[in-house]
Amino acid sequence: MTDLLVIAAPALALLTAVLLALVPARLLDGADALLSTLTAAVAIALAVVALTGHGDPDGGWYVLDGATGVYLIVVAVVGLLSALASAGHLASVHARFFARGVPQRSYYVALQLFWAALIAVPLVDNLAIAWILIEATTAASALLVATSGKATALEAGWKYLVLTTLGLAVALLGIVVLYAAVPDGAATSLSRLDWSAIHAAAAGLDPDVALVAFVLIVAGLASKIGWAPVHNWLPDAHSEAPPPVSALLSAALLPTVMLVAWRAQAALAPALDGTGSALFLGFGLISLAVAVPFLWRPLPLKRLLAYSSLEHMGILALGIGFASPLATAGVVIHVAGHALAKSLGFYAAIPLLRADERLSTQPPSGLGGVDPAGATAVGVSLGSLSGLPPSPLFFSEVLILAGGVAAGELVVVAVAATALALGFLGLAHALITSVAGERPAPVDPPARAAHRRHRLAWLTTAVVGGLICLSVAVYALPGSQLIDDLMRGVT
């Protein structure tokens, strides 16, 4: 039964892409909603199997541990909400990138292909196959970034495609180095790059070769994760992509690729002698340092959310680098809390941009006077991302910093705490200005009607996301089975 669920979760998204390419145009929105709900239900069922320990953690060709369960829930829920929110987005814009007459169909097909690859990444028990799936996400999501057909969107799509592909080429070089270093058990086989095989062989690897392979792999994946200093594509892509795609990029893609880097670090740990953790700590601190100045600048909403992604990927890198039970618990909660807060912010942008297109290029101000529901959604999103209590991100950041203290990384903790405090001030200022700043020109009645049609989507996002954070937080308590699974190697 578990094998069937593992196959069905990404396969349903692929099947949905095929069916959406064939159904009549008038049925696209309904078919997308129905089939996406089915895909998410199967993925969440598989995540529950992983989190409750009822499945085989190592199924031979897949891995089904606590990390898989957490990331599957995040990808499934964000993917479903993005699919549901896409109908409202497509009704208000006219995509010009795809061929005339098929923008809606092409958008849905590309979105489902993107989602299918994201669902599969946490499941695969092989570094090379994970790399292939990550490259597949690039192909589908680059098209989605450029959907609007505007010059800025085309530039962002090309920048995203080129920079992440170059980074993944570096990661591929590291995979080749690692493949050559891992002893051949019976015959030259791709199974030498299974997570368990890498871990079993790590103690016997030449430490210098293992280090070179690991640095190449993680540095290459960093371009896809959006860590500084290889994050240049991230602000443009997030701000130019349709809001549902931006939510999927930020809340699902970035942390999912980070999981692959985390698994690589855990598998090679016996050969790295702590160097792997140091690399994660370095990326974390650099990302925080680069993000904070931008969080203090007045930026358009989606661009502000993009730089917030850079900050939060840095926080997650620190949690992984500290490698203590407290920090790992913080990482789990942070992944779920960030997904909730960030997706809520991007979904709220759909009706707000329809009401006032200036919000795509100007900092938001006085949203409470434009639409209370939109202002509430943006306020909750920015407040949560800033770490304002009682946001789950406040507790996750405290756990991560406490985990750093437990790991003896006091200098890193001090620097990170200072950066987080500065980031909090920047996002808190953006929150106050966005909600209670000077009111812009009034919107027209149709725009207000559009706001009302999207209120249910915002409430659904908040309720579902809150339940996810609560359930994941219970599993993430230090000493729980999930933390034990993660600390044994994220494999």
Tens of pLDDT, residues 287-339: 999 999 999 999 999 999 999 999 999 999 999 999 999 999 999 999 999 99
- Omega prior to 229 cis, within 30 of 0: yes
Q: pTM for this structure?
A: 0.90
Residue 11 half-sphere exposure toward CB, CA atoms < 13 A: 6
**How far apart are the C-alpha atoms of 27 and 368, rounded to whole Å?**
36
Q: What is the mean pLDDT of residues 199-203?
A: 89
**In the predicted model, is pLDDT for residue 442 greater than 60?**
no
Residue 66's nearest CA partner among 259, 340, 270, 199 is: 259
What's the token pair of residue 93? 């814009």
pLDDT band at 360 (very low <50, low <70, confident <90, very high): confident
**In the predicted model, is pLDDT for residue 490 greater than 70?**
no
Cα distances from 379 to residues 19, 76, 192, 235, in angstroms, run: 38, 25, 48, 21
**In the predicted model, is pLDDT for residue 260 greater than 90?**
yes
Q: What is the mean pLDDT of residues 42-59?
A: 81
